[in-house]
With several copies, the nearest count.
Chain A
Amino acid sequence: MHHPEDPNPTAPEGPAFDDTAFDDTAFDDTVIDLTEPSTDPLTEASRAIEAIVMVATDPIPEQLLAQLVELPVVTVRAICADLANQYLAEGRGFQFVEVAGGWRYQSHPAQAPYVERFALEGQTARLSGAALETLAIVAYKQPISRGQVSAIRGVNADGVLRTLEQRGYICEVGRDDGPGQAILLGTTDIFCERLGLGSPDDLPALGDFVPSAAVVEALEQTLRVDDHPGGDADASADHAAEA
């Protein structure tokens, strides 16, 4: 049984377990360069980042990691991206991802069936269509007041907004300057986590959702003022001239 040397300096005994069932030659490929393990500050920082993020309960911002390992943020960013790629390349069952403004470990999506089998309790509730639409308005129009959300939706959105607030997806982010000093709402880190976003900036541009020409035309055709049976080019010309 070949036991690879632990490249972590001052490491105590590794796994409390010797196993003979596995072909020990399998490890030879995976052993990284052990000649100078601890002298490389990048390798050292990489290990420290792995350890820190492993014990964290929330995504850890690069700024905090940079502060803890005493390296520039850009370097930390590169290390994190490299770690993410390493796990990916090795086909790990977990991922290292940037979510809600920080890095975290999470299970790989392909392992979802196993994780679901294991985590039986307290699954996150599905969002209703109304909740998703309201969330979309807040996400793209933030900061936005309750009244403005209701105006866009055409219905009173207070109930849905309150639920979203209770779930922690949106929160008060300021006050309007106007006379009413309306509360302004915005999305939270929990929202980003729920959607798997690094930040709200990662959302697809709202412009991507502008209705297609066919939809616009259908609405215009239906709601046009003049009725010319057949709705031909004349109608549009009249319409244009009149407008």
Chain B
Amino acid sequence: MSFVDDPPIAADPAAGVATQVDAARPDLVTGDRPASASQGTVQVRTEAFEGPFDLLLHLILKDEVDLYEVNLSTIVDAYLAEVERMDLCDLESATEFLLIAATLVELKCRRLLPVDDSVDLDEELGFWEERDLLLSRLLECKTFKDAAKVFEQLAERAALSAPRRAGMEERFLDLTPDLLSGVKPEMLRRAFLRVASAKPEPTVDLFHVTAVKASVSDAIAEFVRDLPAKGRVTFRTLTSGHTERVEVVVRFLAVLELFKQGMIEIEQPGAFGDLTVEWIAGESDVNDALAGADLYEG
């Protein structure tokens, strides 16, 4: 999921989101790290953001001057917009990004809505746990990030010295044992394949997961098709046929996206009440809505 070939955010049709994100992350377009491997660099697949923690840390800590001014809404929006832009090519990474998106969105909802005392205590504790887990994982990630910086400095410093590798003088060579004793041609073949073979395609372990179609743009398309005819409908109804968490998450993201674009109205009778969704946009806006979301490949 390299961003190298992505159009700049400003060109993104989802301008409503884009402007906000752009302001929050002026460095995203120019890239604050090399997105492509330079000549001679280890050919690790470089991604603009190495995972959801990386992205979230960046969003929260990017501007250390304003550490205390960080606004959760801005961060959630920027995070969702970034996830939206990504070409999430495998379900595994998509799920991680989306699960954290779900936690963030829930966090944001808590801030916006009054606390409901009647809420299920187990659920409440569950959410606290999730939030604390996210926090500790972020701290762990940050710890290793900082350690990696020191690794880089150590490697740079070490690279200033070249080791002596000239080896034995000719007259001693006869004394050394035959290095090829015991080496079989097959060992050479395996050694060659080990060092020269392409990495296997990133595979998703589908052993326990049936292929889940999780695409925000598909969900948007589905809503754009179905919602105008349905009138007011609850989010629960919209997701009733979907048991996979990631499917519910992408539909929730789709609802947020449509809301942002002014296509739908959202109502919630009280904290943790059922979300009600109503289509309010005209026919002409539909294409914009569809163009506004990048694909999540499930």
Interface residues of A (CB under 8 A from B): 12, 14-15, 22, 27, 30, 32, 51, 54-59, 94-95, 97, 99, 104-110, 112, 115-116, 119-120, 123-133, 135-137, 139-140, 151-156, 158-160, 162-163, 166-167, 169, 191, 193-197, 202-204, 206, 209-223, 225-227, 230-232, 234-235, 237-238, 241-243
Bound CA–CA A97/B152 (angstroms): 20
B194, CB-defined interface residue at 8 Å: yes
**Among B157-165, B221-229, B240-248, B260-268, the stretch in contact with A:** B157-165
Q: Which of B157-181 contact A (CB under 8 A)?
A: 157-170, 172-173, 175-181
Interface residues of B (CB under 8 A from A): 31-34, 37-47, 50-54, 60-61, 64, 67-68, 70, 72, 75, 90, 92-93, 96, 100, 107, 110-112, 115, 127-128, 131, 134-135, 137-170, 172-173, 175-189, 191-199, 202
- State whether B164 touches A136 (Cβ < 8 A): no
- A selection of 13 A-B contacts at a CB cut-off of 8 Å is A55-B172, A57-B166, A97-B161, A106-B163, A127-B155, A129-B50, A129-B148, A154-B100, A159-B167, A159-B202, A206-B189, A227-B111, A230-B39
- State whether A125 touches B196 (Cβ < 8 A): no
* Closest residue on chain A to residue B50 by CB atoms: A130
Bound CA–CA A24/B7 (angstroms): 40
* Closest residue on chain B to residue A95 by CB atoms: B161
Chain B residues with CB below 8 A from A140, complex form: 144, 147, 188, 192, 196
Bound CA–CA A128/B169 (angstroms): 20
- State whether A27 touches B50 (Cβ < 8 A): no
Chain A residues with CB below 8 A from B60, complex form: 218-219, 222
Closest Cβ–Cβ distance, residue B44 to chain A (whole Å): 5
